[in-house]
Amino acid sequence: MVGPFVPAVLVAAFVAQLSSGAAMLQRVKADTSVSVEKVRPGEPITLSVQVTPDRKIRVFAPGSKDYTPVFIAIGPNRDFSFGKPKYPIPSRESVPGTKKKVLLYKDKFTLAQTITIDPKAARGRMLRITGTLHYQACDDRSVFAQSAMPVSWTVEIQ
């Protein structure tokens, strides 16, 4: 015979296990935005992520050989197609452990990804687009392991 509290205890234990996963240490902050909040099927919109590195943190940019450059990964979706991503111009700087200059973002920067809503997409609903911001960062002493954080945007298809 089992008391009424046992299932509750088991569920609580389950929730505790789920929440015990160590969160990945983040060294940047990311704010998402969309060019327009309401869009019609067939129209393009731009998804943006403004990345703000923490103090003394720099982020590897595309073209930085040997390191993982920052990028946004968005899974395929029938409701839209992808355009080309846009990256700001990085600066070339020294990195700990090498004398070569590497392409880096040291200040706040914005990544932009254009998508075009499928002409046959159903109207009158909210479309939530989820993705992941991948990046590798360094400071003046260390190069940190690659990190990732979830990002999302919501637009209304009208």
The upper half-sphere exposure of residue 33, i.e. CA atoms within 13 Å in the direction of its Cβ, equals: 7
142 is a contact residue toward other proteins (CB under 8 A):
yes
Q: Binding residue for other proteins (CB under 8 A) from 48, 61, 67, 105?
A: 67
1 is a contact residue toward other proteins (CB under 8 A):
yes
107 is a contact residue toward other proteins (CB under 8 A):
no
Q: Binding residue for other proteins (CB under 8 A) from 98, 130, 152, 154?
A: 98
Edge-to-edge strand list for the sheet holding 98-105: 91-95, 98-105, 58-60, 137-138
75 is a contact residue toward other proteins (CB under 8 A):
no
* 150 bridge partner residues: 132
Could you give the CA distance from residue 87 to residue 135 in angstroms, rounded to a whole number? Answer: 13
Query: Strand 38-39 relative to strand 147-157: parallel, antiparallel, unpaired?
Result: parallel
- Cβ(136)–Cβ(69) under 8 Å? yes
Q: Binding residue for other proteins (CB under 8 A) from 55, 78, 99, 120?
A: 99
Could you give the CA distance from residue 152 to residue 88 in angstroms, rounded to a whole number? Answer: 21
18 is a contact residue toward other proteins (CB under 8 A):
yes
Instruction: Return the residues of window 25-54 that contact other proteins according to CB under 8 A.
Output: 25
Which residue stretch of 35-43, 64-72, 106-114, 115-123 sits at the interface with other proteins (rule: CB under 8 A)?
Answer: 64-72
Contact residues for other proteins (CB under 8 A)?
Answer: 1-2, 4, 6-7, 10-11, 13-14, 17-18, 21-22, 24-25, 66-68, 96-99, 141-148
